Amino acid sequence: MTERIVLAYSGGLDTSVAIGWIAEATGAEVIAVAVDVGQGGESLEDIRQRALACGAVEAYVADARDEFANEYCMPALKANALYMDAYPLVSALSRPVIVKHLVAAAREFGAMTVAHGCTGKGNDQVRFEVGIQTLGPDLKCIAPVRDLALTRDKAIAFAEEKNLPIETTKKNPFSIDQNVWGRAVETGFLEDIWNGPTKDVYDYTDAPEASPAPDEVIITFKAGIPVAIDGSPVTPLQAIEQLNRRAGAQGVGRIDIVEDRLVGIKSREIYEAPGAMALIAAHRELENVTVEREQARFKKTVDQRWTELVYDGQWFSPLKRSLDTFLEDTQKYVSGDIRMELHGGRATVTGRRSETALYDFNLATYDTGDTFDQSMARGFIEIFGLSSKVASGRDQRAEA
C-alpha cells in the first residue's frame, strides 16, 4: 500500500503547492485536512475542492468553530490568558484543535506521517509537532517549508508549472493568521520595530480615534462562561462574534508587541482581538467580585503558568491538565453581569452585579448601616505586624 501523509491545509499557495511537492519528494499520497476555526474567507467545500484539484487523494474538512470556542477559547477566558500581559493566544489556541483533527484524519485514512506548513523559526512548528507526538506517539512529522526546502519562489514556480488553481502573483506583504478569537499579523515592514502600523494592517478593528458613539453592553456569565449579551442568550461562539463586531467597531483590542518567541528570538507582532479582550476584561472584573482573596492571588500565578504552557505548545501536557482542574474549581461562583462601555479603543467596566458576590455593601460602606466592627482593627494590626516588629528589634540591637 502506498504511504499516506496527512497535510494541514489552509487553501493558500504554500499548502496547495505542498500537496504535489510532498508527493514528488516522498512518493506518498497526500490527505489534505482543513479545519475551520472561524478564520472566515472561503467555504470549506471550496477549500476541499481546491485540495483535490491540487492533487490530494482525499480531503478532510471540519467545521470546528463551536468546538474551538467552547473547548479552547473558554478555558483561555477562565485563565484570563494574556501572554506577556498582552497577547490573548490567538494562534496558540487554534493549533491544538487543528492537531486533534490532523491525528483523527491520520487514523481514519491510515497515514503514519503528518505535515504542516510552518517555518523553522516560528512557534507553530513546536505547537503542531509536540501536539501530534502527544496524541499520536507513533506518528512522524514533516514540514515542507523547513524540511523539503519549499521556498516561496519555488512554490510559485511549481504552481505555475503544474497549472494549479491558486493565485501566485499577488503577494501580501504580511503573514496573517486569524480565527474567531483574533487576528495575528507579522513580517513585511513591521519587522522594523520603529515603523508604526499602517491602516492596511487592520481588519477586525476600526480606528479608535474615529469611534462612533459609546456602546454600552451587558455581559452575563455563568461559572466563568458568557451566556448572554444584553439579556439575549448566546453560545460562546456567538458571544465572541458579537463582541468582535461591537468592540471592533470601537477600535478595542489592537495590540502591538515585541514578543518573546519560544524558539528564543524576539518578534514584532500586531494582534487584533476585540472580542477576546473585551471578554477577558469583563471576566477578570467579575472574578474580582466573586473569587476569595487568597484564591485570587494564587490564581494569578496559575493563570500565567497556564498561559505560558499554551503559548509553548503544551496544551496536552500533564501540568496543563492539572492546572485546568484548579482553574475550573475557581469558576464555580464566577456568575453575574458586567456592564461595559466600549469606546475609543477601550472596554471599560462601569457596573457589576452577582448573586454570588463576596462584596458586602454593609461591610464596605462608610455611611450609616456600617456593620464592620472597627474596634477589631487595633488588635489585628498588632498581630499582623508582630513578626516584623520583633525582627526590627533584633536588627536594632545587633547594630547597637
The residue segments making up the domain with residue 165 are 4-171
**315 neighbors 124 (Cβ within 8 angstroms):** no
At residue 55, the pLDDT reads 94
**266 neighbors 196 (Cβ within 8 angstroms):** no
Under DSSP, the state recorded for 196 is P
Active site (annotated) includes residue 215: no
115 and 9 inside one domain: yes
Q: Is residue 304 part of a domain?
A: no
At residue 400, the pLDDT reads 79
Q: Is residue 20 part of a domain?
A: yes
Helix (H, G, I), strand (E, B) or coil at 244: helix
At residue 156, the pLDDT reads 82
Active site (annotated) includes residue 175: yes
Under DSSP, the state recorded for 71 is I
Active site (annotated) includes residue 14: yes
Scanning the structure block, which residue is given the C-alpha cell 504580511?
174
41 and 156 inside one domain: yes
Choosing from 147, 171, 195, the residue where a domain stops is 171
Annotated binding site for ATP: 8-16, 117
Q: Is residue 296 part of a domain?
A: no
At residue 289, the pLDDT reads 98
180 and 115 inside one domain: no
At residue 373, the pLDDT reads 86
Q: Please tell me which residue in 14, 36, 206, 303 is annotated as part of the active site.
A: 14
What is the C-alpha to C-alpha distance for residues 354 and 338, in angstroms, rounded to an integer?
Answer: 9
129 and 192 inside one domain: no
Q: Phi/psi of residue 339, each to 5°? A: -100, 130
Distance, C-alpha 87 to centroid of its chain? 8
At residue 172, the pLDDT reads 63
At residue 144, the pLDDT reads 87
Name the residue type at position 230.
D
372 and 236 inside one domain: no
Q: What is the CATH number of the domain that holds 66?
A: 3.40.50.620
**337 neighbors 220 (Cβ within 8 angstroms):** yes
Q: Report strand pairing: 266-272 vs 254-260.
A: antiparallel
Q: What is the CATH number of the domain that holds 280?
A: 3.90.1260.10
**Three cell numbers, residue 279:** 471578554
Q: Is residue 260 part of a domain?
A: yes
Q: Please tell me which residue in 4, 95, 183, 254 is annotated as part of the active site.
A: 95
Q: Report strand pairing: 225-229 vs 232-233.
A: antiparallel
At residue 97, the pLDDT reads 98
180 and 166 inside one domain: no
At residue 199, the pLDDT reads 93
190 and 221 inside one domain: yes
Residues of the chain whose pLDDT is less than 70?
168-173
Q: Is residue 383 part of a domain?
A: yes
In the chain, how many domains are there?
Answer: 3
Q: Is residue 23 part of a domain?
A: yes
Annotated binding site: 8-16, 87, 117, 119, 123-124, 127, 175, 259, 271
Active site (annotated) includes residue 65: no
Choosing from 140, 171, 202, the residue where a domain stops is 171
Q: What is the CATH number of the domain that holds 393?
A: 1.20.5.470
What are the angstrom distances between the C-alpha of 22 and each of 1, 29, 30, 53, 64?
Answer: 17, 8, 8, 15, 26
At residue 9, the pLDDT reads 95
**334 neighbors 219 (Cβ within 8 angstroms):** no
**221 neighbors 334 (Cβ within 8 angstroms):** yes
165 and 185 inside one domain: no
At residue 171, the pLDDT reads 61
**Three cell numbers, residue 273:** 482581538
42 and 148 inside one domain: yes
Q: Please tell me which residue in 4, 94, 124, 211 is annotated as part of the active site.
A: 124
At residue 13, the pLDDT reads 83
268 and 228 inside one domain: yes
Q: Is residue 205 part of a domain?
A: yes
145 and 271 inside one domain: no
Q: Is residue 345 part of a domain?
A: yes
Choosing from 171, 198, 217, the residue where a domain stops is 171
194 and 144 inside one domain: no
